[in-house]
Amino acid sequence: MSDCTHCALSATCIPAAFKKATLFRFTDIVATNQTATNGEVLYQQEQSCRYLYIIKSGSFKTYLTNADGSEHITAFHLPGDLVGLENISGGVTLSSASSLGNSLYCRAEYHKLGGLRKEFPALSDLAIKLYSEALQQAQNLHLCTSKQSAVSRLAMFLVLQSTRQGRVNNQKTELNLNMSRQDLASHLGLAVETISRSYSQLIKSGCIEKSNRLIHILDLSLLKKFANTD
């Protein structure tokens, strides 16, 4: 079923730029509900960039692979997020993207999207809005990684994830951080052990609970206090 009308995300996703009567023009060029299993790769670094991806469920990471084989995680993507926005200007992927656990996503060719934009100016407006939001997110991340204390960084990261997730499914207190400590550490510029210790601190203070990779936020305002002490 390639019908976006029944998708819960359609209000904020690309279909928002179309009227009911013209939506078929988009559904014609999108491949919806593609499945990805744990570790499955959407695209590899330095390939030619053809598709824009939309996360429907699950989550993805994008990462740079260094010459020595180590990975730097550039972003974690949640349902509703677009993946690949930064690649379009050069036509080449700057990072790789892979699924964290089982995920569902949709995929549209950049080229065809560009064609539709010529016909439907509202699509360009939406694109610019989405890019602008992606930039805001990147700036929030910068705010996070420029914190001096490890606990602040982790706390801020949790607050940001909670906010992002809350926008889509209104579930701000349960975070399913489907990523390894390794990945999280690389993303925040910390050592894995420091992540563990910071978690312990947050748990002892009573603002979160944790079982494996599932985080339960108990006291958001306290968590925010941690995020801002620096």
Partner DNA sequence: CGGCGGGTTGATCACTGTCAAGACCGGTGG
Partner DNA sequence: CCACCGGTCTTGACAGTGATCAACCCGCCG
Taking the C-alpha atoms of residue 117 and residue 158, their distance in angstroms, rounded to an integer, is 36
| Greatest distance between any 2 Cα atoms in the chain | 56
Taking the C-alpha atoms of residue 222 and residue 38, their distance in angstroms, rounded to an integer, is 33
Q: Taking CB under 7 A as the criterion, which residues in 113-152 touch DNA?
A: 148-151
Q: Is 193 in the site for DNA (CB under 7 A)?
A: yes
Q: CA-CA distances (angstroms) from residue 121 to 27, 60, 80, 115, 117?
A: 17, 30, 22, 11, 6
Q: Where are the alpha helices (DSSP H) in 11-51?
A: 23-27
Where does this chain touch a second copy (CB under 8 A) — which range of 4-12, 23-31, 112-120, 209-217? 112-120
Q: Is 225 in the site for DNA (CB under 7 A)?
A: no
Q: Taking CB under 8 A as the criterion, which residues in 151-170 touch a second copy?
A: none
Q: In the complex with a second copy, which residue's Cβ is closer, 37 or 139?
A: 139
Q: Taking CB under 7 A as the criterion, which residues in 67-86 touch DNA?
A: none
Q: What angle do CA 115, 119, 121 make, to 5 degrees?
A: 105
The least distance separating DNA from the CB of residue 118, rounded to whole angstroms, comes to 46
Q: Would you state the structure tokens that stand for residue 19, as one six-digit string?
A: 């009227």
Q: Is 194 in the site for DNA (CB under 7 A)?
A: yes
Using DSSP, state whether 166 is helix, strand or coil.
Answer: helix
- Which residues on neighbouring strands pair with residue 64, listed in sequence order? 72
Identity at 60, one-letter amino acid code: F
Q: Is 180 in the site for DNA (CB under 7 A)?
A: yes
List the one residue from 6, 19, 20, 142 that touches a second copy (CB under 8 A).
Answer: 142
Q: Is 189 in the site for DNA (CB under 7 A)?
A: yes
CB 74 within 8 A of CB 57: no
The least distance separating a second copy from the CB of residue 209, rounded to whole angstroms, comes to 27
Q: Is 81 in the site for a second copy (CB under 8 A)?
A: no
Q: Is 199 in the site for DNA (CB under 7 A)?
A: yes
Identity at 148, one-letter amino acid code: Q
Q: Would you state the structure tokens that stand for residue 153, as one six-digit string?
A: 């960084």
**Binding region for a second copy (CB under 8 A):** 64, 66, 72, 74-75, 85-90, 94-95, 114, 117-118, 121, 124-125, 127-136, 138-139, 141-143, 145-148, 186-191, 228
**Binding region for DNA (CB under 7 A):** 148-151, 180-182, 189-197, 199-200, 210, 212-213
